[in-house]
Structures are given as C-alpha cells and as structure tokens.
Amino acid sequence: MRVAAVQLRPVLGDVAANLEACRRLGDEAGAAGAECIVLPEFFTTGMGFAAELADAALPPDGAATHLLVGLARRHRALVGGSFLCRDRDGHVRNAFLLVNARGTLGRHDKDLPTMWENCFYVGGTDDGIIATGGPTAGVALCWELMRTRTARRLRGRVDVVLGGSCWWSIPPWPPQAVSHRLEAANARTAAAVAPAFARFVGAPVVHAAHCGPLACRLPWLPFAYRGHLEGGAVICSASGDVVARREAVEGPGIVVGDVEVGRFAPEQWLPRRFWLHPRGAVPAFFWSYQRLHGRRWYRRHMVGRENGLPR
C-alpha cells in the first residue's frame, strides 16, 4: 500500500491558513499516488498555550472534515487527521477522523490530553480501531504512542497504525548544559516512538508531524515558551524499519512510501509499566502541573463556547 504522511509548519490558531497548507500538501501526496494520506495532530490549529485556540474548535461536519473528504474524493484515497472538534454535548475533543470519498469511516478521540493540551479538550474512551472495508486501521496520537495501554489495545488487531504528533522541544533554559542534554534525549524519543510502536503492535505506522518554531505563554510561570516542533514525519514497516522520513529541519512537505499492511507477530514485548519510553524530568514536571492548570482553564474558558469558524 502506498501511504503518505504530511509535515506541516502550522500557524498557531489560524484555521484558514492551516487548512490551505494541508490542502496543498494533501494534493501533493495524492499526486504521488498515495492510497492513504495522514495529516498531523491538530492540523487545523497547531498547539500551544494560546487563548485564540479557544475559538478555533470546529464542528464534526465542519471545514476540517470537508477538507479531508475533498482530498479523499480527488485522489481516491483514505485520508485522516485530528483537530479540535466541538461536539454537540458542548465539549471539545482531539478527534482523528478517517474518511474516504463517501464520507467518514470512523473517529478516534485521543485518550489523555498532554500538558497544556488540557486547556483545550477532554479525553476520549474509544479503542481507536476503524474498519475501512479493506485494511483495519488503528489510530494513535502523539503521547498515545508513549503509553503501554495504547499498544495493548491495538496489538494484533489492526493492519496499519495511523497517527500524528505535535511534539515540542525543551528550550535552552539555564543551566544550558543541562537543558541541552535533556532536549537531546527528548528529540531522540520524539524520533523513536513511531518505529518502536510498530514493533510493539506488529503493524506498519504512518506518522505525520509538525515542524517550525513555537512561541507561547507558559501557564502560571513568569516567562514564555520559545522552542520548536520536532520528531518528523515517518513511515515505517511492522518491524520498525524506516521506509521514509522527513526531519523537522527539512520544513513542511510530505513523505511517501510503500508498506506491507497486515497483522504481523510483534517483535517487542509490552512492558508492565504505564509508559513505553521514559519521559524525563522536565516533561514529567510539565505533564503534572499543566494538567492541573489545564483542567481548570478548560472549565473556565472552553465549556459552552460556540464552534469556531475559519478566519
């Protein structure tokens, strides 16, 4: 199966600009013959602690879904990606929709928001398995690829894993000798999660990504975040061999490759711990305090708002 993963340089909170960039990159992937095209997590907005994201959630049948279906129809492909989706119950979720030319085949809501993501959506409970009429797809988004329970719910049950990340760096905070070491480990983890996940699950992985700089406020702290998005778009086989990769420093674009879809014997045993990979001290700290802050911020700023519209 020929598959493609998109690498996007997002404009934080600018739905219209991001949709147009995804249309161009999706058309490029379709022209390359991709039968399955994957857009990154938060392809409509990017992600950071920015108040404008509160107005950027789209309805399930809105502009993001129209983009996905339009790409699917033009290129006769499966197309998927996740966006901030405000459902009829008034809550926002990080919803990955997989569509074909006839419409939506299925949806996965990311289970746990990561760090400042807690400000903008609540988690889901589905198993992330989507029937396509052909290969069965499993969905895993960003730090879902870090969790043992994600691999357990997909292991031996899917023919291909689709997903994407919005993975930010650790800035060069003082002491810089320490932060540089921590960021080197963070970057290695970001690059390794998709190939490792393929070995845990026994299916190829198509992983889309963001790239470029990221600047935003930091919750409850007197200084700002200034870093970049990393990890890169990657396609890998069920054995974790990299078929194609686009490094984040290469900027926006696509990777295209041919993978053998199917359910293969996983090459790696699942650990008994919660995390598949060590998080490191800085991510663990930000995970905890931003989760506490984000749940309060979400209740105050997100619940009951109207759906956003492309600007």
CA angle 239, 28, 229 (to 5 degrees): 65
The tens place of each residue's pLDDT in the chain, 311 residues long, gives 999 999 999 999 999 999 999 999 999 999 999 999 999 999 999 999 999 999 999 999 999 999 999 999 999 999 999 999 999 999 999 999 999 999 999 999 999 999 999 999 999 999 999 999 999 999 999 999 999 999 999 999 999 999 999 999 999 999 999 999 999 999 999 999 999 999 999 999 999 999 999 999 999 999 999 999 999 999 999 999 999 999 999 999 999 999 999 999 999 999 999 999 998 888 899 999 999 999 999 999 998 776 543 32
Whole-angstrom CA distances from 113 to 23, 47, 143, 176, 290 are 26, 11, 9, 28, 10
| Interatomic CA distance for residues 250 and 39, integer angstroms | 17
Q: What percent of the chain has pLDDT over 90?
A: 95
Sequence letter at residue 238:
A
Length of the chain in residues, anyone? 311
**Helix (H, G, I), strand (E, B), or coil: what is residue 147?**
strand
Q: Summarize pLDDT for 38-72 with one digit per residue, the tens.
A: 999 999 999 999 999 999 999 999 999 999 999 99
Residue 108 forms beta bridges with which residues?
A: 96
Query: In angstroms, rounded to a whole number, what is the distance separating the alpha carbons of residues 179 and 170?
Result: 7
Task: Determine contact, residues 232/246, Cβ cutoff 8 Å.
Answer: yes
Instruction: Report helix, strand or coil for 119.
Output: helix
pLDDT of res. 310: 37
The two beta strands, 78-86 and 36-38, are parallel
Q: What is the pLDDT of residue 306?
A: 63
The single residue listed with the structure tokens 């197309």 is 79
Q: Tell me the whole-structure pTM to 2 decimals.
A: 0.96
CA-based nearest residue to 145, from 216, 207, 187: 207
Report helix, strand or coil for 45: coil
Taking CA atoms, 21 is separated from 11, 60, 72, 155, 205, in Å, by: 10, 20, 16, 33, 23
Q: What is the pLDDT of residues 278-297, one digit of tens each?
A: 988 888 999 999 999 999 99
Burial bucket for residue 184 (CB in 10 Å: 0-12, 13-18, 19+)? exposed
Structure tokens at 63: 């502009």
- Does domain 2-301 fall under CATH 3.30.390.50? My reply is no
Q: How far is CA 28 from the centre of its chain?
A: 20
State residue 308's pLDDT score: 44
Please, how many CA atoms are within 13 Å of residue 78, restricted to the half-sphere of its CB? 26
Structure tokens at 123: 């988690």
